[in-house]
Amino acid sequence: MTIADLASTLVHNPIFAGVAGGAGMSAALYQAQRIPAAIVGIVKRTFTVSRLINNDEELFERLCMYLSDAPFVRRARWLRMVQKYDDHKQAWGSHATFGIGWHLLRHEGHLILLHRPGERDSKALVPQRMETITLRSFGKGQDALRYLMARAENVYESISTIRVYLWHKGSYLMADRKPARNPETLFLAPKQRERIISDLQAFTERRDEYRRRGTPYRRGYLFEGLPGTGKTTLSSVFAIVLNRPIYIINPNTAGGDTGLQAAFSAVDPGGIVVMEDIDAMRAARRRDDLSSAEPAVRPEEVVTLGGLLNAIDGLGSRDNRVLVMTSNHAEMLDPALLRPGRIDVREVIDLMDESTARRMADYWGAYAVPQSERFGKWC
């Protein structure tokens, strides 16, 4: 039997014709169901502009804060809370903003569709809770979305604050927003304050030079001295000078070497990492001072000296970062931690001398106290 005869037989076979017809009808219906989705996809690609925002971007929080006053939030069925500054009360408080779901808002005459799905786990070294917001404007132009994002970016323009984040269980949490401190209120010896701030400013201006030399664009500072002399306050001044947030990492609770590496990697470009009282961390101490009674094998949640050094300047350590460490007993730290590239600037923050104490008292207007009492206890 030839192929032509076989084809003719199959065509005239009622069973085969029924099966083939049913399969063809099913395929046709399946393709028909896909047509609306395909049309919607074409319309989205052709007539809308989208912007996906992750919660590890500063814009995510700023957008939630900026839109908390939008009229559509009062009609929303799902709400989330966001911290917002009250100019009248001079304090931060919780305000409702849009929650999970689809929201349609009108911003400066433009319709924008906003979608906020639920949280999900990331696939990072340390699992984190991830959220996204999708903005979609109608039309081919980007102006509507760009204008909305610009307004959200400037949500802090009338608020001079320092944002402080704390690494906790695999992600950074907002710990506080502190009022920006005038650098003039940092009462160190004038030449020392100018030397430190000038070094930081020079670092920010030499990025191209670092790149030409193939040097990692990072800077490390160690401030050592007695408690209460202003070591931690210096990090606040750094945040003002750079206009960047502070990221506090406690190595003892970071989650081992892997958690510490993830904490450093999660810092936004230009961020300021602060590790206070680094001498209290066992892994940072001199190796010849460690007790031999300690177990040779450490649990996974314990940070080792190697893990600390790799997090600071290992292959997986990101560029464009400032590290500030404070210590009351810097002589206890391992020399490997103090070498240039990890710690580039060491400054002893000492007690005030009399002239500095007088400047501080005059600044705060402490004129009612006799001079003998005003300065005697500080010198």
pLDDT (tens, 9 = 90+) of the chain, 379 residues, equals 565 565 556 455 555 455 455 555 555 555 556 566 666 566 666 778 999 998 878 788 889 888 888 888 888 888 888 877 665 565 667 888 999 999 999 888 889 999 998 877 665 555 567 889 999 998 888 999 999 998 888 776 555 678 888 898 788 887 777 777 777 777 777 788 889 999 999 999 999 998 898 888 999 999 998 888 888 888 888 888 888 889 999 988 888 888 899 999 888 888 999 999 998 887 787 776 655 445 444 556 788 888 899 999 888 788 899 999 999 988 889 899 999 989 999 999 888 777 777 777 777 664 445 555 544 443 3
Asked if the structure places residue 11 within a domain, the reply is: no
Overall residue count recorded for the chain in this entry: 379
Out of 156, 181, 203, a domain closes at 156
Distance CA 280, CA 301 (A): 17
CATH number at residue 315: 3.40.50.300
Q: Are residues 332 and 188 in the same domain?
A: yes
| 328 alpha-carbon distance from chain centroid | 28
Of 141, 156, 171, which marks where a domain is finished? 156
Half-sphere exposure of 348 (CA within 13 A, CB side): 6
> 208 and 318: one domain?
yes
The Cα–Cα gap between 223 and 16 comes to 86
What is the phi/psi pair of residue 348, to 5°?
A: -90, 115
Q: How many domains is the chain built from?
A: 2
What are the strands, taking DSSP E only, across the chain? 48-54, 79-86, 91-98, 101-107, 110-116, 120-121, 129-130, 132-138, 161-168, 171-179, 218-224, 246-248, 272-275, 321-327, 345-348
Q: Which domain holds residue 132?
A: 49-156
Both 201 and 300 in one domain: the answer is yes
Establish if 26 belongs to a structural domain.
no
Please check whether residue 370 lies inside any domain of the structure: no
Q: What letter does residue 12 receive in the DSSP assignment?
A: H
Please check whether residue 2 lies inside any domain of the structure.
no
Residue 24 within any structural domain of the chain? no
Considering the domain boundaries, does residue 360 fall inside one?
Answer: no
Same domain, 172 and 260: yes
Rounded to the nearest angstrom, the gap between the alpha carbon of residue 360 and the centroid of all alpha carbons in its chain is 34
Statement to judge: residues 238 and 295 lie in one domain = yes
Select from 99, 124, 156 the last residue of a domain: 156
Rg over CA atoms, the chain: 30
Q: Are residues 139 and 228 in the same domain?
A: no
Query: Do residues 146 and 209 both lie within one domain?
Result: no
Three-state SS letters, 53-112? EECCCHHHHHHHHHHHHCHHHHHCCCEEEEEEEECCCCEEEEEEEECCEEEEEEECCEEE
My answer on whether 140 and 216 are in the same domain is no
Is this structure's pTM higher than 0.85?
A: no
| In a shared domain, residues 113 and 174 | no
Residues 282 and 202 in one domain: yes
Range 193-198 contact pairs with CB under 8 angstroms and sequence separation of 24 or more: 195/347, 196/221, 196/234, 196/345, 196/347, 197/237, 197/241
Q: What per-residue confidence (pLDDT) applies to 174?
A: 75
Do 175 and 125 share a domain, yes or no?
no
182 and 328 within one domain: yes
